[in-house]
Amino acid sequence: MIRDENEQRTLWTEPVDDVLDRVDVSMDEGLTESEAERRRERFGSNELRDAERRRWWEILAAQFESVIVLLLAVAAGGAFLLGDVVEGAAIVAVLVVNGIIGFVTEMRAVSSMESLQEMTEIEARVRRDGDDREIPADELVPGDVVVVEAGDVVPADLRVVEPSRLQVDESALTGESVPVGKTNDPVDADAPLADRENMLYKGTYVTRGTAEAVVVATGTETELGRISASLREAAEEKTPLQEKLDELGRTLVPFLLVVATIVLVSGWLRGQDPFLMVETAIALAIATVPEGLPVVATLVLARGMWRMADRNALVTDLASVETLGSTDVICTDKTGTLTKNEMTVAAYELATGSVEVADDAVETFRRDGETRDEPRDPVLRAALEVGVLCNDASVTGADGETEATGDPMEVALLLAGLHGGFDRDALLDETPQVREVAFDPSVKMMATYHEVDERYAVAVKGAPEAVVDASTRLVTDEGVEELSPSERAAWIEKSDRMADDGLRVLALARKTVDSPEERPYEDLALIGLVGLIDPPREEVGPTVRRCQDAGMRVVMVTGDHAGTARNVARSVGLVDADDAEVVEGRHLDDPERLSEEEVDRFVSASVFARVSPENKLDLIDLHQTVGSIVAMTGDGVNDAPALKSADIGVAMGQRGTQVAQEASDMILQDDNFGSIYHAVREGRIIFSNIRKFVLYLMSCNLSELLAILLASLLGFPLPLLPLQILFLNVVTDVFPAFALGACEGSEDVMERPPRDPDEPIMTRTNWAELGLYGVLISAATVGALAVAGDLYAGGMGTEEAVTVSFLTLAFAQLWHVFDMREISADALRNEVTENRYVWGALALSALLLAGAVYLPGVSLALRTAPIGPEGWLVVFGMSLLPVAVAQTEREFRRRFGTPDFGARFERVEEALPRLH
């Protein structure tokens, strides 16, 4: 039997008898159950999933790998050391909740992915102890004798032993969309995978014929398994969101030190109680770290993940949800993504003219503006009849559903014939088939013989050049006429024109003979040509236009011919002109030698044809080199490296291979291209929401710092006490921030261009806004303190005045949530005001603030005191001033444009060297 796994990889070079001897099996008996069990113990199960599954503790640990989380952990430790148990416990709770949410969400994705894989588990027909039986494919072992037939998924890597008219769709591995014929003859050792005609590979699909074959590789030793293993070993990179959150965390570290220093020095200079100032400085430093950021970010991403799942887009990695929002290039394969992945007859070219075939509610035949369900043209009827008779596929219907098996092109011919009134079973009853000459790659034709009135009708189909060359006559509406050499050349030109239009072309012919033993491919009567196409999906055209309106480029990347690619691209709106440029993959074979002009040309191209898996990687690299965020769709094993390399890999859930799904970041469970658009929209909303609550939290924290600093400089009492600061950050700030994460997004979110992938969470404009909002809220707080001091100067202590400033700051921060609307949105009707969670958060926070003043135990801890109507008037009057000013400023920017703070800073930076 096989002694070394390396021996499995060269069995295509040996004759069948040597292969059987090598694997130590008899084709008649197969393996015994006991021998199969021994081999299973040695080689393992025939599956990939266990090797690919992420362990639960790895997913849990990943939730705590960020600078922000580390800062929070340090802040929690500092709070406990200083005796601030409430703050320390609150931060620990935030970390725990954040970890649980991220862990549960990603485990849910893993579970969904495993369920998706279980839906594709298959059975295999295997010979054991001399009997053929059905077993789960994962129980196969090297040396098992397997029987496959049309419609089967190949369950392992097999060496063909006894083929019968065998054809296999290997597009999952090679990208070649046309089924390939298989033999049992040895091939060269250095033959590429696509040329190993005696091998069947796990995950491919039998389209025609039958075969007995022997298993030579299982599980991770299959071609599928080796690609899967290589992808698993590839290093994972952080997503843009993870990098931006870490960058923000690193920015906060020096800011914490500055905060503590400013407060300590200013308090010392004003003669404040040193212990109180140290305690306040530490409280502010701890509060500067946005406790809510990790958990809110995780909740926003999780919510986006669940919303995408509702639209059949399963995201396998939480942080990848946001990356979709900056996607500006979508590289998509053609077959099955932009098209239906099913061949359809599009047109017939006959001596009597051209006939279009349209798939509306029913198949219809159109000529010269006339539409018929069943054609009257005798030549068209002859073409339909030959297409149905010279055929190995089958179509069955039940409960209004049509089920087809066999070669996709033959299925298309059967369906066209069926809609034209030709049922294969009925035809075979009238004209029984007595002989079939299987398709021969060397002659590129197939023929069937049918008994008709003691003679035999021969139906032939095949490659146009082969059939036309074998034809001496032409079928017309007036009978059969002679076919001259010039007319043959004209038919070949017609075939070329149809191919240039993106059609796959077959020629149809017939003749009548006296004996079924007469040779099939001589003296044929040419009927005409039939053009077939894989039609575009109905939803693709509108989705492509929406993507383009959103500033995203959709690029078709296919292994098909240029003509086919151009035709599909034109039909879905990727290109407009009939002569639009199609770049062939061979031009990308040596990307390092490309000139700048070629790089610009390829980056701007919309259609790529005859593309290999290596070319896909090169194309992704070109786009990433110029700064694009690239999403790549795919379904085959050959797509997996590109899916892994892209910023967002998008695999198909229904027809996608397991390896492609495991290499991707997102799986379209309905294989609908439109789901990508909705996922990108969700990604844009997510980043916008993350920016909203980061700006909100940090401006609230800054306002606390500036309020204390300003009060100290003016000689006022502290407007906030240490525990009050912690109360605001743990209790009131977080709830509105949570609510901001649930905003539905502005109406024009997909009318704007994609975000610059290098753009940080906080842009220079956002930092300017942060400063403005911090100044407004702190000024209002100190102003309230001053007014309250005058009000209570008649004998009531400063505790009431500090309570007024505390409440003013708190409510100003609550109203500040309305400043987070998009600049382009209306002040009254926008994504914030229409968010019911925002109103709930405000109501809850207001109740908590009332409790902080009027609940005896809480008010004692926070050192607050009840305030009279005058005090509440000051609170609401002063707290509304910042939001009024901020809304006026935002409305001005909405109507007259936003100042480009970034450009102004850049101009200053450019001028500094000249000044020096």
Q: Which residues are catalytic?
A: 333
CA 751 to chain centre: 21
Q: How far apart are CA 363 and CA 384, in angstroms?
A: 13
Q: How far apart are CA 591 and CA 602, in angstroms?
A: 11
- The burial of 98, by beta-carbon neighbours within 10 Å (0-12 exposed, 13-18 middle, 19 or more buried), is given as buried
The H or E element that residue 459 is part of is strand 455-462
Q: Are 512 and 564 in contact (CB under 8 A)?
A: no
Q: Identity (one letter) of the amino acid at 177? A: S
Please enumerate in sequence order all residues whose Cβ is within 8 A of that of 727, keeping only pairs 6 or more positions apart, or say none. Answer: 852, 862
Which residues does residue 395 pair with via DSSP β-bridges, in sequence order? Answer: 404
Which one, of 632, 650, 890, 629, lies nearest residue 755 by Cα?
A: 629
Residue 468 sits at φ, ψ, to 5 deg, of: -65, -40
Q: How far apart are CA 77 and CA 845, in angstroms?
A: 27
Q: How far apart are CA 776 and CA 784, in angstroms?
A: 12
666-668 and 648-652 beta bridge pairing: parallel
Q: Which long-range contacts (CB under 8 A, 24 or more apart) does 764-772 make?
A: 764/901, 764/902, 764/905, 765/898, 765/899, 765/900, 765/901, 765/902, 766/691, 766/695, 767/901, 768/901, 769/695, 769/699, 770/695, 770/698, 770/699, 770/702, 771/702, 772/886, 772/889
Q: How far apart are CA 720 and CA 266, in angstroms?
A: 15
Torsion of CA 549, 550, 552, 553, to 10 degrees: -10
Q: How far apart are CA 98 and CA 111, in angstroms?
A: 20
Where do we find the tokens 């035999």? 456
H helices of 270-325, in order, are 274-288, 292-310, 320-323
